[in-house]
Amino acid sequence: MIGVMPLQPDLFALPPPPDLPEGLRYRPDLITVEEERDLAARFETLPFKPFEFHGYTGHRQVVSFGWRYDFGRRSLDQTTPIPDFLLPLRAKVAAFAGQAPEAFEQVLVSLYEPGAVIGWHRDRPEFGEVAGVSLLTPCRFRLRRKVGDGWERRAFEAAPRSAYLLTGPSRTAWEHSIPPLETRRYSVTFRTRA
């Protein structure tokens, strides 16, 4: 069971690694090893489906709760409510973000098998703040933004059990991606609505 943190900004959150975009916050060890193990076991029972984007099927698998964005119809649709077992994690993420837990109305659980990637993107403008928790395997979290004829690039390693928060320019001006990994990884993305 994940312990619930009080509803206030996380005063102990570390700043992002040096030289990262404005609005990005990072916190290692948001959850314990035991909490990570419990979540991973529960994720084994979820009804994952391949990620679909305009006729393209991605290598990662996903399941949405609360809200689901339909890329074909370009609409945000209500879907299965957020399961009770994710509510304590949502509370921890909300405390880290300085938000009420209920503000994070959408949860996306993603399964990355070896070799799966997530390409360059910005989360849909229908969503506001974006927070993520990385499980099982470290990943390189890459960011880029267009500057003149080229790209300004930054990156950091998101450790297992860590959380990140994208607000301000890191959310609206920068794209992010994760290159392929050699071992299984889960991520849990929490989004507010815009």
Instruction: State pLDDT tens for residues 94-133.
Output: 999 999 999 999 999 999 999 998 889 988 888 899 999 9
Tokens of 19: 């030289």
Which one-letter amino acid corresponds to residue 150? G
- Enclosing H/E stretch for 88: helix 87-97
The pLDDT score that the predictor gives to residue 30 is: 98
Q: What is the pLDDT of residues 56-65, one digit of tens each?
A: 666 789 999 9
**Rounded Cα distance, 141 and 86, in Å:** 23
Task: Say whether pLDDT at 23 is over 80.
Answer: yes
Q: Tokens 């929490």 label which residue?
A: 190
pLDDT at residue 120, rounded to an integer: 94
Contact between 177 and 142 (Cβ < 8 Å)? yes
76 has a pLDDT exceeding 80? no
pTM: 0.86
Region at 34 (left for phi over 0; alpha for psi -120 to 50; beta for the rest):
alpha
| Whole-angstrom distance, CA of residue 187 vs CA of residue 86 | 12
For the cut 90, the answer to whether the pLDDT of residue 11 exceeds it is no
Write out the two tokens for 140. 């390189």
The residue with tokens 């921890």 is 92
**Looking at domain 24-46+55-193, which CATH architecture does it have?**
Sandwich (2.60)
C-alpha distances (whole Å) from 44 to each of 47, 109, 124, 193 are: 9, 11, 27, 28
The domain spans of the chain are: 24-46+55-193
Mean pLDDT of the chain: 89
